[in-house]
Structures are given as structure tokens and as C-alpha cells.
Amino acid sequence: MPKARIGELIARRELIWNLVLRSLRIRYKGSALGFLWTLLNPLMMMLIYWLFISILRFEVPLSHLLTGVIFWQFVAMCTSDAVRSVSGFPNLVKKAYFPRIILPLSMVIANLINFALSIVVLAVILFLLKLFAQAAVDFSFLWMLPFVMAIQFCLVLGIALLISSANVFFRDIEHIVGVVLQALFFLTPIIYPLSFVRERISGFKSGGVLLSIYLLNPMASLVTLFRKAFLGRELFAGGGFLPPEPAFYISLGLSLVMLFAGVRVFGKLEPYFADHL
């Protein structure tokens, strides 16, 4: 992002904050439980998946399931909200001058605040699971959390910029996003650990290649790091601190590439937004 654009965003920080507060107020307007719905939604999802997995006799620790669903909620909310983060404000885009990137940026920041609050509640629940259910919870890797959240923020902001700008010109994006999100949910180790994928793929002749392709999904790497921050060391190949596959680290770099691509595409299309709204 050019220094001039960054400077302009800093100068408009009050506008960004006002839009963040507006987004938070709208989300909970008329709701008796308010922020609690941000927590209740993933908890209800977790219970549904836990019951479904129990019926299939597929053993996944409750702590793994909860951390995965909380992680996914931030990605899903940002991606879904991105669809109308620009096209949902035609009068504002047409009549007022400001960097249009502020619209998806403020939306992602608002969801990041929800995510941060959910993480606090998640930590409390995991502590109670460790205390009363002897769950495998280890907070010694919690220092990784700011790093994971920073990379995740870059990834979802890049996705939001691409989706929000594309939806101005192609309104079918709204329908495509829902389908892609559902597919990515099952292609990402949300309701299962990464070790499950490694065990299943290892039986194939080209298992190493398939695993590398799977790990190129940035969300697979990020949710693995997110789990490690709360649950501690997971057994990886060779007993290492993190997965040894280069694709794991390449995918983290792809998160930054996604942000760069989102900023570039959004900047190229921004001058034409008013003509198509």
C-alpha cells in the first residue's frame, strides 16, 4: 500500500472508528443478548458438529472443535460481510469523497473486535475444560496468538477487498461466496485436526504431494497455529515444533500476497465504483 494512502487512512482514523462503531451497533441493534450472539452462534455450531461427529464415531476433542469453530467464525463473518461492504453504501460512495478502502477495512476491524472478545471467552471455556474435564489445554504457546491474528487479519482483509470490489460489478459474487465458504469449511481443519489429514493422506502413493497441496490453503496453516496457541504441542512429523512441509510456510506468505493483491485490485477498480452503483 502506498505511503500516501496509509497517511490518508491515518488522517481519516476518526471516520474509520465511527464506521466500526456503526457496524457494531447495527449488528446488535434490537437484540436482547447483544454481543452474546457472537459467542452463542459458534457454540451452537460446535454442538451441532460435535453431535454429528459423535454419531459417526469420529473422535475429535471438544477443545479442538471449539478452537476451530471460533477461528472460522472470524473468517466467515468477514467474508460474508465483505459482499456488501461497498455496494451496500451507494449514496455514500457517490456523494462523499473518502478512500473507499475504509468501508471494507472498518468492517474487518469491527469483526476483529468481536473475534478478540470471543477469544477471551474461549480462553475461559478452555480453562474450565482443563480444570474439570482434564482437556488437553496448554497455554504455554499463547505468545503465538498476536502473530496468528495479525496474519489472519491480513488474509481476511485481502479477501474482503477482492470480494467487495468485485461485487460492485458482478452481483453474482454474493451467491458464489456462500458456496465457496461451505467448501472451504470442510477443506480446512476446522472440525478435525491437521494430524487427521496427515494420517488419511499418508496411505496414498502421492500422499506427500497431496498434503502439500492441502497445506497451501492459508487458513489450514493459520487454524493449526491458532490451535497450538491454546492447546499446546501437537505431534507433527518428526516431532517438530511445527509441520516440516515447506507448503505450510508458503501458505503463510500467501496471506500477505492476498492482502497485496486485494489492495491493488481495489485501487484499480475504485474510480469506477460510483458509475456502477
Query: For residues 188 and 109, is the Cβ–Cβ distance under 8 A?
Result: no
pTM: predicted TM-score of the whole model, two decimal places:
0.88
Find, among 67, 24, 19, 17, the residue nearest to 42 by Cα. Answer: 67
What is the DSSP code (8-state) at residue 159? H
Which pLDDT tens digit goes with each residue over 23-59? 877 776 655 556 666 667 667 776 777 676 666 666 7
**What pLDDT, on a 0 to 100 scale, did the predictor assign at position 156?**
95
Say how many domains are in the chain: 1
Please list the ranges in the chain whose pLDDT falls under 50: 235
Give the span between the Cα atoms of 170 and 110, in whole angstroms.
Answer: 25
**What pLDDT, on a 0 to 100 scale, did the predictor assign at position 162?**
94
How many residues belong to the chain? 277
Query: For residues 114 and 35, is the Cβ–Cβ distance under 8 A?
Result: yes
**What pLDDT, on a 0 to 100 scale, did the predictor assign at position 89?**
84
Query: How many of the other CB atoms lie within 10 Å of CB of 22?
Result: 12
- Domain of residue 187 covers 3-276
Element containing residue 246 per DSSP (H, E): helix 246-269
**What pLDDT, on a 0 to 100 scale, did the predictor assign at position 88?**
85
**What pLDDT, on a 0 to 100 scale, did the predictor assign at position 154?**
94
**What pLDDT, on a 0 to 100 scale, did the predictor assign at position 15?**
86
